[in-house]
Amino acid sequence: DTGVSQDPRHKITKRGQNVTFRCDPISEHNRLYWYRQTLGQGPEFLTYFQNEAQLEKSRLLSDRFSAERPKGSFSTLEIQRTEQGDSAMYLCASRPWDTQYFGPGTRLTVL
């Protein structure tokens, strides 16, 4: 296993721009999660996929956020019209059964 990978690792953008992050889960892990972590806090759940189906979304996921997992493998998280409050670490995790394994995260800074 190569582990969960995320790209990019860092993203700096200006307010109002759109950004997209990618997550490649551990192969054959059919469950995939996105979390957001702000400074000094634990990660907070954003959304969950089982295969290609998005089965749960948090209230934190406003209509500016969209996530996809088109073929049940990699996933993308897009944020439209970024705001300074979107600055955070975005973490992806995948799970085969009972344990989630996390990627290194994408740190977003909105100027």
Partner 1 sequence: AQSVTQLDSQVPVFEEAPVELRCNYSSSVSVYLFWYVQYPNQGLQLLLKYLSGSTLVKGINGFEAEFNKSQTSFHLRKPSVHISDTAEYFCAVSDTNTGTASKLTFGTGTRLQVTL
End-to-end CA distance of the chain: 36
Q: Which stretch binds partner 1 (CB under 8 A): 62-70, 71-79, 80-88, 92-100?
A: 92-100
Q: How far is the CB of 76 from partner 1 (least distance, A)?
A: 18
Compute how many other C-beta atoms are within 10 angstroms of the C-beta atom of residue 77: 23
* Cα gap 27→49, rounded to integer Å: 14
Q: How far is the CB of 47 from partner 1 (least distance, A)?
A: 9
Q: Which of residues 20-79 bind partner 1 (CB under 8 A)?
A: 33, 35, 40-45, 48, 55-56
Q: Which stretch binds partner 1 (CB under 8 A): 13-21, 60-68, 77-85, 96-104?
A: 96-104
Amino acid making up residue 29: H
Task: Indicate the SS3 state at residue 85.
Answer: helix
Residue with Cβ nearer partner 1 (58 or 73): 58
Task: Indicate the SS3 state at residue 60.
Answer: coil
Task: Indicate the SS3 state at residue 84.
Answer: helix
Residues of the shown chain interacting with partner 1 in the complex, contacts defined by CB under 8 A: 4, 6, 33, 35, 40-45, 48, 55-56, 91, 93, 95, 97-105, 107
